[in-house]
Every structure is written in structure tokens, then in C-alpha cells.
Amino acid sequence: MKIFGYAVLMFSIAAAPVFAASIDIPKGAANSGDLTESSHWMWSHDAKTPGHAVASSHYPVGSPSLDGHAREFSMSYSNKGGERFSLTFAHNAEVTHFVYDTYVYLANASQLANLEMDMNQVISNGRTVIYAFQCSGNSGHWEYSVIEHNSPHWKSTGVVCNPKSWASDKWHHIQIASHRDGEDVTYDGVSFDGDYHPLHDGGAGSLDLHWSAGDLNLNFQLDGADSRGDVKIYQDKLTIFYW
């Protein structure tokens, strides 16, 4: 597991949107644009996973893609190792609501134990608020993170999810909505291929990591499922909405 990892758009609204039958995004919300296009992606083995992993990422990939330029993430692993891909994409300490919106295409779903999709925000007091979410083949559910004893821990939403069950060689649409109240995080809903589940899960969400105030960054992590293997996944139209 892991929880770590510029165009600046400012926006504020008087009231939060209502998450009802789907994930709603206010018309005036800031958005990151397609982050698969960024040249600032970084990656490294997640030392909190067992084993070892090495990885690469390539852009643009014309096929498979939704718009002619997807990003490829590749990992070779041993002993269920994991690789964390990360990107700092903006600077805003004040916004409180986020939607992580992306399309993914798995070339070999059987090799993927967990797919983790996180947001990190350094707020004005210098603490880092962590919005961490994953589809876990280990538990068979969508999971979220809370901070306990100064460390992130996974909790089950009870909503069924296993990346091994996702159809390979097909685009899947994922949306994850979350917000913070001060330093506490609530996960509002998750949608997979249009199948929406409202959530009301969360808890303490911040750590003192001594990162730069205002940093907004994301993680996209692959965890291996077996003693040894290769994972290849494509991502397109990765966009963070925030307000």
C-alpha cells in the first residue's frame, strides 16, 4: 500500500453539491485538464508493499486510447510488489471537494491485486490531507484510508470491487468523490462504468509530512497479485475536478 505521492484555478461556492444518483460536479469547478499528457510524472517502488517492482510510463500511446493519446503504465514485480506513479498538478490550499475522474484499460487484469487512486493536498497549516481510495482484490471491496496512530490504514466501504474481475482489453470509467471538513475526510461516492454507489465513510485524514503548502498531487498505484508477473495498464482523460 502507499498513500504518497500546474495550472492554478481558484473557485469557491456557498454550498456543497448533492451526491444523489450520480457524482455531480458544479459547473464552475476547477479542473486539471487531461493529466495523462503531463511530462512531470514520477514513479518508484512502494516500499510499504512486499517484494520489489520496476516500472515505466510512456506517452502518447495511440492504441488503445479514447482520443489518440493515452498513457501506458507498465510494471514488472516480484513477491506482490507495488509501483507508485505520482504527479503534482496544481497549487491550492483552500479547496475542499475533489472528484478523481479517469478511464483505465487493463491488458492483463489477472496480474493486478489492487489499483489505488489517491489525492494529496497540503493545506494552509502545513499538514497534508490524504484522500486515498482503491479497488482491492485482497479484500474484494472498494477501500478508503483513515489516519490512525499517525499512520494511514485501509477500511472497507462494503462495496464490491476486484480488479481481477474487470474485463481486460476494455475501457472502464472510474469516478471517486471526496471532501474534507478541516482535516477530516469523507468519501462521498464511487462510480465504476456508470454503477454509482453513494458513500458516507471517512475519518481523520491528515499527516505532518513537511510538504510545500498548497501542493495538490495524485497517485496511481499498481500492486502485483502473484509471486512474479507483469502488469500493463493504460489511462486516458485523467482529470481532477476541485472546488
The CATH number assigned to the domain holding 187 equals: 2.60.120.260
Q: What are phi and psi of 93, to 5 degrees?
A: -90, -5
36: helix, coil or strand? helix
Predicted confidence band of residue 22 (pLDDT cuts 50, 70, 90)? confident
Region 123-128: mean pLDDT is: 97
Of residues 22 and 138, more confidence is placed in 138
Alpha-carbon distance of 73 to 150, in angstroms, equals: 31
Give the chain's mean pLDDT: 92
Alpha-carbon distance of 189 to 191, in angstroms, equals: 7
Please, which residues have CB within 8 angstroms of residue 67's CB and are 6 or more apart in sequence? Answer: 236, 237
- Longest Cα–Cα distance of the chain, Å, equals 51
Predicted confidence band of residue 88 (pLDDT cuts 50, 70, 90)? very high
How does pLDDT run across 170-206, given as a tens digit for each residue? Answer: 999 999 999 999 999 999 999 999 999 999 999 999 9
> In this predicted structure, what is the pLDDT of residue 37?
98
Q: Is residue 236 part of a domain?
A: yes
> In this predicted structure, what is the pLDDT of residue 234?
98
Please, which residues have CB within 8 angstroms of residue 106's CB and are 6 or more apart in sequence? Answer: 112, 163, 166, 168, 169, 170, 172, 232, 233
Region 30-44: mean pLDDT is: 98
Q: What are phi and psi of 80, to 5 degrees?
A: 60, 35
Predicted confidence band of residue 6 (pLDDT cuts 50, 70, 90)? very low
Domain that holds residue 89: 30-242
> In this predicted structure, what is the pLDDT of residue 176?
98
Q: Is residue 14 part of a domain?
A: no
Q: Is residue 22 part of a domain?
A: no
Alpha-carbon distance of 139 to 161, in angstroms, equals: 8
Q: Is residue 222 part of a domain?
A: yes
C-alpha cell recorded at residue 184: 477530516
DSSP string, 175-232: EEEEEEETTEEEEEEEEETTEEEEEEEEEE-EE---PPTTEEEEEEEEEE-SSEEEEE
186, 110 contact by CB (below 8 A): no
Q: Is residue 21 part of a domain?
A: no
109: helix, coil or strand? helix
pLDDT over 60 (residue 11): no
How does pLDDT run across 101-112, given as a tens digit for each residue? Answer: 999 999 989 999
> In this predicted structure, what is the pLDDT of residue 187?
98
Predicted confidence band of residue 13 (pLDDT cuts 50, 70, 90)? very low
C-alpha cell recorded at residue 13: 461556492
Region 66-81: mean pLDDT is: 97
Q: Is residue 63 part of a domain?
A: yes
52: helix, coil or strand? strand
> In this predicted structure, what is the pLDDT of residue 204?
97
Q: Is residue 129 part of a domain?
A: yes
Q: Is residue 15 part of a domain?
A: no
Region 201-229: mean pLDDT is: 96
> In this predicted structure, what is the pLDDT of residue 21?
58
Region 29-46: mean pLDDT is: 97
Predicted confidence band of residue 237 (pLDDT cuts 50, 70, 90)? very high
Q: Give the number of domains in the chain.
A: 1
CB contact burial 202-233 (16+ within 10 A = b; e otherwise): bebbbbeeebeebbbbbbbbbbbbeeebebbb
C-alpha cell recorded at residue 181: 471538513
> What's this model's pTM, rounded to 2 decimal places?
0.90
> In this predicted structure, what is the pLDDT of residue 124?
96
Alpha-carbon distance of 53 to 9, in angstroms, equals: 35
